[in-house]
Amino acid sequence: MKILYGMPNTRSFRALWALEEVGAEYRYQLVDLGKGAGQTPEFRAMNPAGKLPVLVDGKLVLSESAAICSYLAECYPHTGLIPEPGTADRARYNQWCFFALTELEQPLWTMAKHKFALPKEYRVRDVLETAAFEFKRAAQVLDAGLADRYFLVGDRFSMADLLVVHILSWARVSRVKHGFSRLDDYRERMIQRQAWQRAVAIESEKTGGTE
């Protein structure tokens, strides 16, 4: 059985949602980062970065949320959550996954780091405005990409949508505005998925909160 090491309201939600999308059998192992559980020797043996999520599947110990989502999609090909390798759709899928992590998420992460995640002495409040500007610029690219589309790739939901929707949700709870109503509508459509709702319910059970 697969084991997901995660904590509510972190990027491990992506892996949790992905597990629900593919219908995998898994156990959710809570790692309380606030209590230093990411820094224990046991956890760092799995992920030297001490970060969540980590997925254990037999002998495979995998970190990086996007890698976990793509891996799960490949393990359950009948779900169609990742396009076939070597196709234009797969190339486009990769494009959006890399965009999600390097362009859309990074400004949000920069804001989070400089508001609370970094030790106080490393926080620079002046970068917040720049990061907000960068987030809007990335959102504009996403908005254009969705201009005539229901999903990011082809005519079905993929893990690329999952990553991007998680990031848009992160912006929403952090009250970071992008100003594109099409992105709000897109997010709203995607979170109607039953797997998203099950993942939210699982996290809520653990915390009383939602992602």
Ligand X SMILES: N[C@@H](CCC(=O)N[C@@H](CS)C(=O)NCC(=O)O)C(=O)O
Region from 16-24, 49-57, 72-80, 146-154 binding ligand X, contact rule CB under 6 A: 49-57
Buried b (16+ CB within 10 A) or exposed e, 153-181: bbeebbbbbbbbbbbbbbbeeeebebebe
Rounded distance between C-alpha atoms, residue 178 and residue 50, angstroms: 31
**Nearest distance, CB of residue 43 and ligand X, angstroms:** 10
56 binds ligand X (CB under 6 A): no
Q: Which of 21, 157, 147, 186 is nearest to 82 (CA)?
A: 157
Contact 191, 165 (CB under 8 A): yes
Size of the site for ligand X (CB under 6 A): 10
Which residue in 3, 29, 37, 50 binds ligand X (CB under 6 A)? 50
Which residue in 33, 37, 56, 132 binds ligand X (CB under 6 A)? 33
51 binds ligand X (CB under 6 A): yes
Which residue in 5, 16, 20, 38 binds ligand X (CB under 6 A)? 38
The pair of three-digit structure tokens given for residue 1, joined into one six-digit string: 């059985």
Contact 51, 38 (CB under 8 A): yes
64 binds ligand X (CB under 6 A): yes
Region from 50-58, 88-96, 147-155, 178-186 binding ligand X, contact rule CB under 6 A: 50-58
In the shown chain, the binding pattern of residues 9 to 28 toward ligand X, with x for contact by CB under 6 A and - for none, equals: -xx-----------------
211 binds ligand X (CB under 6 A): no
**Nearest distance, CB of residue 93 and ligand X, angstroms:** 17
**Nearest distance, CB of residue 181 and ligand X, angstroms:** 27
β-strand partners of 70: none
Region from 46-54, 70-78, 83-91, 181-189 binding ligand X, contact rule CB under 6 A: 46-54
65 binds ligand X (CB under 6 A): yes
166 binds ligand X (CB under 6 A): no
Rounded distance between C-alpha atoms, residue 133 and residue 142, angstroms: 15
Interface ranges with ligand X (CB under 6 A) = 10-11, 33, 38, 50-53, 64-65
